[in-house]
Amino acid sequence: MLKPVGDLIAQVKQNIRCIDAQTAADERAANKGWLIDVREPSEHLALPAEGAINIPRGLLEMKMMELEKDPQRPIYLHCATSARAALGAEQLQRVGYENVSVITCKMDEIQRCCNI
């Protein structure tokens, strides 16, 4: 039986850390974690958050393993609705990253808070 995407996202979010943009910005100021935008490049170009690196969801695991070898370095993922970011966080945890968070607010708040 197929599982509705909304149900899948809700299930995934039970096992990942979800935070707001201000919490992410405060933590990143202290820990220099990665801010990763998992949207498509055209979405990122149209509405970027300062300091975010664009790695589309479909390439996330491979690119992160090239970019960051330390499984404990903080990684903060965002997208437009937090759905792709949640799925991405699940996969990063699956390959061994231990400190992954999903920013779960709207893009304008991410832009406002994460521009550090």
* Calpha distance 38→80 (Å, rounded): 9
This prediction has a pTM of 0.94
Contact 35, 65 (CB under 8 A): no
CATH at 10: 3.40.250.10
Domain residues for 10?
5-114
pLDDT band at 115 (very low <50, low <70, confident <90, very high): low
Model confidence band, residue 45 (pLDDT cutoffs 50, 70, 90): very high
Q: What is the mean pLDDT of the chain?
A: 93
User: What is the average per-residue pLDDT within 52-69?
Assistant: 96
The number of folded domains in the chain is 1
The more confidently predicted of residues 114 and 64 is: 64
Total length of the chain: 116
Contact 114/24 with Cβ under 8 angstroms? yes
